[in-house]
Amino acid sequence: MNGPTDKPSLGALALATYRRDLARLLEERPGQWVAYHGDQLVGFAKTQRELVEECIRRGYRGRDYLVDCIEPELPDIIDSPYPFE
């Protein structure tokens, strides 16, 4: 469990760093893939596979890195004119 003095996990830090950088990434490299290990940028690639293989080659555990396509995030709630019944 994370308490007030616990450090965030590397995976959580990677996600936070990606979100922090997203506006710049959308301007500079839209549609490419990016990888972060904690708060460190691993690199960019044309495919997800290239970055996953690079993270594995570096010995990173899957929960400690993030590989994502550089695209706008979807909102958590999508309003719809059609109510669910």
Comparing CA positions, the residue from 11, 7, 5, 68 lying closest to residue 40 is 11
Residue with tokens 């691993």: 42
CA 58 to each of CA 16, 20, 37, 71: distance values in angstroms, whole numbers, following the listed order: 21, 24, 10, 25
Q: How many structural domains is the chain composed of?
A: 1
| Mean pLDDT along residues 75-80 | 65
Does some domain include residue 59?
yes
Does some domain include residue 75?
no
pLDDT digits (tens, 9 = 90+) for 4-15: 567 889 999 999
Find the domain containing 16 and state its range: 10-69
Does some domain include residue 3?
no
Does some domain include residue 61?
yes
pLDDT digits (tens, 9 = 90+) for 26-76: 999 999 999 999 999 999 999 999 999 999 999 999 999 999 999 998 776
Does some domain include residue 29?
yes
